[in-house]
Structure 1
Amino acid sequence: MCGRFVLFTSGDDLMEAVAALPGIAEVQAPDGTPPPRYNIAPTQQVPLIRIAESEARIDAARWGLLPSWKKDETGPPLFNARGETVAEKPSFRSAFKARRGLMVLDGYYEWKATENGKQPYFVRAEDGMLYAAALWETGLGRLSTTMVTTDAADSMAWLHHRLPLFLREDEIRQWVEGTPEDALDLVRPSRVAESLVWNEAAQEVGNTRHDYAELMGR
């Protein structure tokens, strides 16, 4: 699963990273891009990337899906969606059919139980950013999103049994523009996991009030 992540790439750097994705000729961010963040949590605003043909759009979205049938924001936030059931589960199936996008990360945090308590780790790609398969909705008049997860790849199972569905650049179009059947073909332990590296993070990351670069550790 993924319940905390980092996105310090912002402004022109974020726009350029999205523009470099296959087939993108134009990137729009009507409300700008968010400032660097080092401890992003569910229900907070995150950048959602939606792609239509050669254009990508970056918008602020609530991290925690709000399906059209929800009457309020009560209940646990739907910040992760299990890929194995995403096509059938009522909370996600409508978005999966027609509203697939990307969440962009510089890395994420995961906790592992030890003899002395839980140790947080910061996980990132060896090079570049991470693009996670996402769904989006506009329930309650708000743009919202959730991150799709799968079983962890063997290389990451030591840390947690679930992992975000990180997409390779050559898989992004299939996810956002393909049929539901095309998208389901990608729901498997991510091959991007082979390029992930990690290190121990600061214990303070457990408190969402802390938001600074030192949380990532090294």
Structure 2
Amino acid sequence: MCGRFVLFTTEDALIEATLDTTDFAKVQAPAGLPRARYNIAPTTPIPILRAIDATEASIAPARWGLFPHWKRDDSGPPLFNARAETVSEKPSFRSAFKTQRCAIPMDGYYEWHQKQPQWIRTGSLIWVAGLWDTGLDMLSATMITTGAQAPLDQVHHRMPRFLQSEEISQWLMGTAEEAAELLAPGSTEGFQITPADPAVGNVRNDYPELISSASLF
């Protein structure tokens, strides 16, 4: 699973990284771009990338925790992860899976192993497959997860569905059948795992030392 992540690639750097790692020639951000954050938790706003057409995309803030279009209130646990194995079938996700797919940027994420948070990253911007919807008249999103692959399986049995550059357009603009081809675990090449500051357990803690001080723990 993934319940906390980090995004410090912001402002112009996020636009440039998006252009470098996707097939889009233009990326809009009409609502602005996020500030650097080091402890992003469910129910808070996250940036999501959606295709406008084959050459243009937009980045917009969305609540991390999907509200399906039929949702009438905000009761129940936040749907911040969606299992790849059932995402095309579950009522909460199946409609969005058909036509409302997004990609979520992150610089890395946290996972807990034996009560110790681990900082997981590659050293560059990472894209994760997601879904979006507009229940309760707000834009919201969830992150696709799969079974974990080495080396990440030593930390947790689930992991986000990471998208390689060549998979992003297929996920965002492909048919449901084409998107379903990407529901198997993605590549984990280049991932690194180090202990993170235990202070990440408190969502109010949001500062660079959570990861820059990781080697001290």
TM-score, normalised to structure 2, is: 0.96
1:210 aligned residue (192, 195, 205)? 205
Give matches, 1:50-199, under 5 Å: 50-51=50-51, 52-113=53-114, 118-125=115-122, 127-191=123-187, 193-199=188-194
Q: 2:132 and 2:28 mapped to 1: Cα distance?
A: 18
Tell me by how many angstroms 1:23 deviates.
2.2
Q: 1:124 and 1:19 mapped to 2: Cα distance?
A: 20
Tell me by how many angstroms 1:190 deviates.
1.4
Tell me by how many angstroms 1:21 deviates.
3.0
Tell me by how many angstroms 1:57 deviates.
0.2
Moved more, 91-100 or 46-55: 46-55
Q: Is the 8 A contact 1:65 1:145 kept in 2?
A: yes
- 1:6: which partner in 2? 6
TM-score, normalised to structure 1, is: 0.95
Give aligned pairs, total: 212
* Deviations 1:113-161, CA, capped at 9 Å, x for gaps: 1xxxx10000001x42110000000111100000000000132111000
Q: 2:38 and 2:179 mapped to 1: Cα distance?
A: 30
Moved more, 176-185 or 38-47: 176-185
Q: Structure 1: which 5+ runs fail to align?
A: none
Q: Structure 2: which 5+ runs fail to align?
A: none
CA RMSD of aligned residues (A): 0.9
Q: 2:150 and 2:195 mapped to 1: Cα distance?
A: 20
* Equivalent residue letter for 1:213: P
Tell me by how many angstroms 1:94 deviates.
0.2
Q: 1:106 and 1:17 mapped to 2: Cα distance?
A: 11
Runs of 4+ displaced beyond 2 Å:
none
* Deviations 1:9-34, CA, capped at 9 Å, x for gaps: 11000011112233211110001101
* Equivalent residue letter for 1:178: G
Q: Is the 8 A contact 1:152 1:190 kept in 2?
A: no
